Amino acid sequence: MKIIKGDLILTEDTTFTESIKVEGNIKGYYNLKVAGNINAWDINARNIDAWDINAGDIDARNIDAWDINAGDIDVGNINARDINAGNINARDIDAMDIICEKRIKAEKEYKTICRVFVQNKFSLERKEQMK
């Protein structure tokens, strides 16, 4: 894993061949591709392609990831297996599971496709199950 002290400022399309941990924010309106995971405070990039993304806030045009865990996501398109976020504002979402605290902002031309959509997760009764 590559550790970057402070902010990662993108000045061109950037590719990492390993996971990255940014001890600050990722900034720059360029494409970011990571062959692994991204861990950062906030991410602001044009397109993000990574295995797992863990960030406070994500602002991007497109996100393609296996898992996304973020406080807020503001993006044009999301293609992910699992999304766990406090707030999602996106035009198109295609995911296996979506868990969010606030309703996804949508208008008649927006779409959300998923197998499981859990809204207001903190108001749900917790259940335990033994196999």
- Give percent helix, percent strand, percent coil of the chain, each to the nearest 5: 0, 70, 30
- The more confident residue out of 70 and 9 is 9
Burial class (CB in 10 A: 0-12, 13-18, 19+), 131: exposed
Alpha-carbon distance of 18 to 37, in angstroms, equals: 8
| β-bridge partners, 55 | 40, 70
Decide if pLDDT at 17 tops 90: yes
pLDDT digits (tens, 9 = 90+) for 45-104: 888 988 889 888 888 888 888 888 888 888 888 888 888 888 888 878 888 877 776 666
- The pLDDT mean for the chain works out to 82
